[in-house]
Amino acid sequence: MKTLVAVGDKGDWDSYKKFIRRKGMCGKHGWRFQSFDYDTILSGKLPEVKTDSLVFFFFFPFEFWKKTIETKRYKGVYGNRSFYLSYVDFWQQLKKRITKRYPGKKISFVNDPTAIITDRDKVRTRKILARAGVPVSHVFETRDFKKIISLINQGKRLFLKVRYGSMGKGITYIEKDRWITNFGFRNGQILSRKSDYGWKFHEVTGNNAFLKRLLRQDLIIEEAIEPLLSKGRKFDLRLYVCFGKVLYIYPRSTDPRNVTTNISQGATGEAQEFLRGLPERVLELSKRQAIKSVRAIKLNFAGVDIMPRVDNGKVTVIEVNTFPGFPRARHFPLSKLLMTEILKRH
């Protein structure tokens, strides 16, 4: 007999609570089920588990993140290297605590902590995907202000993203005569919202002081792609991949002038009918690249954001998300299928 252990925070209604509602499926398959929060592990209070095998499935550690990393009084610019180092240490300590607590047990992970930390680093993720033959955006290594200005004067359109950020926060888009950011800037300093909300984009066109300051941060600079439009709207596809299988495709659309297609930035989640208007070759290519991306990062479950391009049905992988939000159950029972795949594969 095996035990499936779900680890998350009680306040995570978006994914963790949806998943543990399916715990009854474990008994039907001859498994046991337990759930803990992260404090239980870090405080050394993990209970005894009678089965010889344990499979851990992690959800995003919101409480730890808010209390330790992105606090209301954190210093520096959002998405800086200190965020990442604290995040890496958290997962390393977590894995050590688990293995120490259950000596002699066979322990496995749906997503190993070693792989979980990868997607938080956009530069590292992109390199891994590129080596695996996954289509990703072209990156510019320069941080020279004059060279950046020269690039946009040549017609390049650039995204300047904080290297260790997420949720569409800490993004700046620049093209000739149009600079947009969701950072603040005052008295020569870049300002970050101390919240997941309120990161509204605003224009900073020609603000050389802002751009020079931004180029000193931990960034990845990507060339913007020419997106395929559907019904006049820019869109991307989030593909939920589990053990080499695409379980669900969630389209998100926005006005073509908007910077991102993140729901947190005002994009619209579309129904499945939206997919019917897309070329079949685009959907099939998206599935293949999503599966390849998750394998390259050495994950078993992830959400992969893909943007179809206007040129010949090609696609670009934008991001791999270890902790994607779950769609509403009435739209698609992702937690049920996830549970089924985990019980079947382990």
Are residues 291 and 214 located together in one domain of the fold? no
Task: Give yes or no: residues 74 and 217 share one domain.
Answer: no
Clarify whether residues 99 and 234 are in a common domain. no
Judgement on whether residues 153 and 262 belong to the same structural domain of the protein: no
Predicted pLDDT at 178: 98
Rounded Cα–Cα distance for residues 241 and 202 (Å): 34
Residues 162 and 255 in one domain: no
The answer to whether position 82 is within a domain reads yes
Phi and psi torsions of 334, nearest 5°? -60, -45
Q: Please report the pLDDT score of residue 73 as a whole number.
A: 85
Residues of the chain with pLDDT under 50: none
- pLDDT confidence of residue 288: 98
Q: Is residue 128 part of a domain?
A: yes
**pLDDT tens-digit series, residues 144-175:** 999 999 999 999 999 999 999 998 999 999 99
- 43 domain-assigned: yes
Nearest of 250, 265, 258 to residue 234 by alpha carbon: 258
- From the CA atom positions of the chain, what is the Rg in Å? 21
Domain membership of residue 98 (yes or no) is: yes
Last residue of a domain, one of 223, 253, 268: 223
Q: Say if 337 falls within a structural domain.
A: no
Q: Which of 182, 200, 223 is the last residue of a domain?
A: 223
Kindly report, residue by residue over 113-148, the tens digit of the pLDDT: 999 999 999 999 999 999 999 999 999 999 999 999
CATH assignment of the domain containing 19: 3.40.1010
- Same domain for 60 and 103, yes or no, is yes
Q: Is the separation of the CB atoms in 308 and 241 below 8 Å? A: no
Closest to 117 (Cα-Cα) out of 142, 89, 80, 152? 89
Q: Same structural domain for residues 74 and 127? A: no
- Domain identity same for 63 and 206: no
Amino acid at 188: G
Domain count of the fold of the chain: 3
Res 329: pLDDT: 76
| Residue where a domain terminates, one of 166, 198, 223 | 223
128 and 233 co-located in one domain = yes
SS3 state of residue 209: helix
* pLDDT in the model for residue 4: 98
Q: What's the Cα-to-Cα distance from 332 to each of 76, 121, 228, 260, 322, rounded to whole Å?
A: 40, 30, 25, 24, 19
Tokens describing residue 131 = 């080596």
Which ranges of the chain would DSSP assign to H, the alpha helix? Answer: 16-20, 24-28, 38-42, 62-64, 81-101, 113-116, 122-131, 145-153, 208-214, 280-297, 334-345
Domain that holds residue 66: 2-111
Answer yes or no: is 272 within a domain: yes
Which pLDDT score, from 0 to 100, does residue 324 have? 95
| Identity of the amino acid at 334 | L
**CA angle in degrees (0–180, nearest 5) for 250-260-177:** 155
Do 87 and 120 meet the contact criterion of CB atoms below 8 Å apart? yes
Whether residue 326 lies inside any domain: the answer is no
Q: Are residue 162 and residue 209 in the same domain, yes or no?
A: yes
Are 60 and 190 in the same domain? Answer: no
Are both 237 and 308 inside the same structural domain? yes
CATH number of residue 275's parent domain: 3.30.470.20
Query: Is 335 contained in some domain?
Result: no
pLDDT of residue 283: 97
